């Protein structure tokens, strides 16, 4: 339950399976937050090594497809938290932001 005094408020989700993320987005929307945030930035090994969090930066087409499905699933703004890249040799933030913008993500927060 979200109380009016807590607004504006966002709920963040992360995962590596598009259909599961669509379902999570629908559940989030029922709570009526101000926005839904997708975590494409978590570097924790147990998360990233499964292709979730920052791990999705190794598969930009999947990252874009997942974001697109989430944006289509909900009527609230969708934002993304991400990183400059998977590592110092694979900084692709401009491509990441363009792909996210192209599918309707409203804002991106970037970890350096």
> Quick check: 104 pLDDT over 90?
yes
Q: Catalytic residue among 25, 42, 78, 80, which?
A: 42
Helix, strand, or coil (residue 13): strand
- Write down the mean pLDDT value for the chain: 96
What mean pLDDT is predicted for residues 50-71? Answer: 97
Predicted TM-score (pTM) of this structure:
0.95
Based on the residue annotation, tell me whether 42 is a catalytic residue of this protein.
Answer: yes
Domain that holds residue 58: 4-111
Which CATH number does the domain housing residue 91 bear?
3.20.20.70
Distances 60 to 2, 17, 100 between C-alpha atoms, Å = 33, 14, 10
pLDDT digits (tens, 9 = 90+) for 74-96: 999 999 999 999 888 989 999 99
The domain tally of the chain equals 1
């Amino acid at each position: 339950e979200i109380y009016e005094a807590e607004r504006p408020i966002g709920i963040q989700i992360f995962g590596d399976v598009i259909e599961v993320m669509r379902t999570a987005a629908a559940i989030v929307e029922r709570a009526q937050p101000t926005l839904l945030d997708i975590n494409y930035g978590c570097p924790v090994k147990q998360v990233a090594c499964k292709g979730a969090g920052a791990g999705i930066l190794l598969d930009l087409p999947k990252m874009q497809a997942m974001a697109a499905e989430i944006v289509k699933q909900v009527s609230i703004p969708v934002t993304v938290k991400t990183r400059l890249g998977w590592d110092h040799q694979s900084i692709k933030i401009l491509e990441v932001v363009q792909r996210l913008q192209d599918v309707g993500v409203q804002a991106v927060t970037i970890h350096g």
